[in-house]
A and B are shown apart, each in its own frame.
Chain A
Amino acid sequence: MSHPPRGGPLGLAGCHACGKVSPETLGRCPRCGSALHIRKPQSIQRTVAFLIAAGVLYVPAMILPIMTVLEFGGSSAKTIIEGMMEFWQSGAYPIAIVIFTASILIPLVKIVALIWLCAAACGKVHPSPKILGKVYWLTELLGRWSMVDIFVVAILVAMVQLGAYMRVLPGSGALAFAGVVVLTMFAAMSFDPRLLWDRLELMEGAPPNEESPP
């Protein structure tokens, strides 16, 4: 099968910052001065490291309260899940679904999707770059929306300052959750989708009967 040439095998690197194509041997991009790499350096290792950190933080982010409501009678601490359930029980289904998707589902799906992408880039599962490329594009696109719960906490803390009547304070879960979002964003940025195509080309280049000995 013949494909159009790719930059990597010819020693050409597209600059991360400005996109100019130069030989990697130059070391630095002649146009903008950024370091040149054919692939993002240590892409898989960095992505996995960020993912492990995000996965570990996901637990306290879900268990610890994201905010505490101080009222006349006392205080009640709420986790992300409890906050979502409250919306659901009060009949605000669309908002409950938004919170569920942005805060609980997207971070999890993102972690799983990036693990899948890393496994595919390492050849553990079949790399189908056309589909996985879309998956990668989606994880990059959706990641930021998880931040919505943090903004909700910020707004509630700022607005609900009614003295002895009612107050809202941020909880320790907010820090953990913000950490999850930022770390998964770093993980997505560290991953290099070109590795999927490298792996595919490696597999296509291999002898066809390699896997089935006679």
Chain B
Amino acid sequence: MRPWPKPRGGPHRVVCHFCDTLHESVPVPEGTAARCVRCNAVLYQNRYASLVRATSFSLTALILMAIVHSFPFMSMDAGGMRTTLTPMGAASALINDGSPIVGCAVALFTMVTPLIMSGGLIYVCGPLLWGKAAPGATRVARWLTLTEPWNMIEVFLLGVLVSLMKLGKMAELHFGFGFWAFALLMLAMAAAVAGIDREELWDRLEVAKE
């Protein structure tokens, strides 16, 4: 695959997000990061096999999402009854039991955001593997930046662990296939987002549109 290309023209510059120091944007070897000379914050990173990793981990995340939503996540036996949990069920329980806004927030942070992020990364990075820009890729890439802070998969997993401590005392709990898929989903999402640097993504997008 072609190394990180730079768009035509120039000068290629970058400003530090933290201190606004202006730098010449020079290529760095794969696997290393360029840091701000003044505050030492990371300016950009040149990741190994960035496009391949971003695309393939996003694809993995999408497949895992399908698994998470089609298998039971956790089930509980108490008082002769069995209840099962899915992330969808957690959100809809709140919506049906008098907290629709919070329920929607839970759905947004655990299901919609990861879907937008992994779907968006595939849509933008997939065609870039062949040096092409998908129609509307610029808009999708902007959505990616906006949605990133709202992906809370790992926080939900911590919530599951806390709930286990609460429920474990009163009932017998079983982990389903969905739970393990969800744990893997957390790793896949983290790997997909860390797969490609924002600067590289946008440079490649700009070159593809030239």
Using a CB–CB cutoff of 8 Å, the interface residues on chain A facing chain B are: 3-8, 10, 12-14, 16-21, 31-34, 87, 90, 92, 95, 98-99, 102, 129-130, 133, 136-137, 140, 144-145, 147-163, 165-166, 169-170, 174-175, 178, 182, 185, 189, 193-194, 197-198
| Other contacts beyond A4-B22, A19-B202, A144-B149: 9, CB < 8 A | A7-B22, A10-B22, A17-B145, A21-B14, A140-B149, A150-B106, A154-B93, A155-B159, A166-B79
**Chain B binding surface SS class:** helix
Contact yes or no, A189 B149, CB < 8 A:
yes
Within 8 A of A (CB), among B1-25: 13-15, 17-23
Contact yes or no, A158 B22, CB < 8 A:
no
Contact yes or no, A6 B20, CB < 8 A:
yes
List of 10 A-B pairs having minimum Cβ-Cβ separation, nearest first? A151-B159, A158-B93, A14-B15, A170-B99, A7-B15, A154-B90, A18-B202, A155-B163, A21-B13, A194-B20
Contact yes or no, B14 A14, CB < 8 A:
yes
Contact yes or no, B83 A161, CB < 8 A:
yes
Report, as a range, how many residues of chain B touch the other chain: 35 or more
A106 to chain B minimum Cβ distance, whole angstroms, is 12
A97 to chain B minimum Cβ distance, whole angstroms, is 11
Q: Mark B32-44, 1 if CB is under 8 A from A, else 0.
A: 0000011101001
Residue in contact with B102 in the complex, picked from A20, A160, A175, CB distance below 8 Å: A175
Contact yes or no, B38 A145, CB < 8 A:
no
**Sample (21) of A-B pairs whose CB atoms are under 8 Å apart:** A5-B21, A7-B15, A17-B145, A19-B202, A21-B22, A33-B142, A90-B169, A95-B162, A99-B162, A136-B18, A150-B105, A151-B158, A152-B159, A154-B106, A156-B163, A156-B166, A158-B92, A158-B93, A159-B163, A163-B81, A197-B19
Query: Does B152 reach chain A (CB closer than 8 Å)?
Result: yes
Within 8 A of A (CB), among B70-92: 74, 76, 78-79, 81, 83, 85, 89-92
Contact yes or no, A133 B19, CB < 8 A:
yes
Residue in contact with B18 in the complex, picked from A144, A151, A160, A194, CB distance below 8 Å: A194
B103 to chain A minimum Cβ distance, whole angstroms, is 7
Contact yes or no, B165 A95, CB < 8 A:
yes
Query: Does B98 reach chain A (CB closer than 8 Å)?
Result: yes
Contact yes or no, B18 A193, CB < 8 A:
yes
In angstroms, Cα B199 to Cα A5, docked, is 21
Residue of A nearest to B146 (CB): A17
A163 to chain B minimum Cβ distance, whole angstroms, is 7
Contact yes or no, A160 B83, CB < 8 A:
yes
Contact of A18 with B142 at beta-carbon distance under 8 Å, contacts A4-B21, A151-B90, A155-B85 already known: yes
Contact yes or no, B159 A3, CB < 8 A:
no
| Contact partners of B165 in chain A: CB under 8 A | 87, 92, 95
In angstroms, Cα B162 to Cα A92, docked, is 10
In angstroms, Cα B148 to Cα A144, docked, is 11
Within 8 A of A (CB), among B135-194: 138, 141-142, 145-146, 149-150, 152, 155-156, 158-160, 162-163, 165-167, 169
In angstroms, Cα B155 to Cα A137, docked, is 18
In angstroms, Cα B61 to Cα A189, docked, is 27
A93 to chain B minimum Cβ distance, whole angstroms, is 11
Contact of A34 with B105 at beta-carbon distance under 8 Å, contacts A19-B199, A155-B85, A175-B99 already known: no
Contact of A154 with B103 at beta-carbon distance under 8 Å, contacts A21-B22, A148-B155, A170-B98 already known: yes
In angstroms, Cα B13 to Cα A20, docked, is 7
Contact yes or no, B105 A162, CB < 8 A:
no
